[in-house]
Structures are given as C-alpha cells and as structure tokens.
Structure 1
Amino acid sequence: MHDFYHSWMMTGGHSMFLFWILFAVVLVWLILAYRVRGETPSETPLEIAKKRYAAGEISRTELDEIKRQL
C-alpha cells in the first residue's frame, strides 16, 4: 500500500498539477483573445462626419462646425 501511494503521487499529482496549469493558460488565452477581438478600432468622429457629408446627410457649414468643435 505504501508503494501505491508513492506511485500515484509521482504520476497523478504531477499530472494533475500540469493539467490545472494548462487549463489556466488556455482560459487566460481565450479571455485575452476575445477581449482583443472586441476592441476593433472604430471610426473617429471626424471620419463619420466626412462620410455623412459625402452622402449628403449634412451641409458644408455643418461639417465645418463639427470640425471646429472637434
């Protein structure tokens, strides 16, 4: 029985420790990958205003006012 305990600790204990380390690494990697993917750069307010001007949604004076305020 004494030998069984030591053989389990030599393989099972280390294996379980490595399993939890690997599990934690994968979990952190997944969280960081999801967070980075969610932070895609968006358009600046000036770019949005220029697109609205190009589409005819706002006038030149409104575009100039937006530029001045930004």
Structure 2
Amino acid sequence: MAKVTVTLDADLAIEVMLLAGVRSPQDAVELIVRDYLARGHRTEARTGEAGDGSRVTQDRPIVQEG
C-alpha cells in the first residue's frame, strides 16, 4: 500500500491521539480515517448510494379500493 505524508497542527494531532487512545499520531490518524470510511460505507449500505435512482420513484402504484 502506498504511504502518504500529511502535516498536522500539533494540537490537532494530540487531540486525535487522545480520542483514539493511542500513543502514535500516525496510528491515531489512521484509526480515525478508517473509522470515518467505515461509517460512510455503513450509511451507504443502509440508505443506498446517492445515484441510486431506483429507490426513489415518482410513479406510485395505483391502489384500487372496493
């Protein structure tokens, strides 16, 4: 897997480390990003993708009474 270097403000890195409960800023940011992506995938699985037009239709079935 390719590696990317990202520069963060020290206060932000420390806050992420505290939230993630790890001692390494690298591990903390990786955990936060992985969690963010997993939440996005779970949301898509529940609601469908934005381009999923088959879920929203303008044609409603006609209900016959009687």
* TM-score greater than 0.5 by the shorter chain: no
Where on the TM-score scale, by shorter chain, does this alignment land: which range? 0.3 to 0.5
RCO comparison, higher one (Cα < 8 Å, 6+): 1
Greater share of helix residues, 1 or 2?
A: 1
Normalised TM-score (structure 1): 0.41
Structure whose alpha-carbon radius of gyration is higher = 1
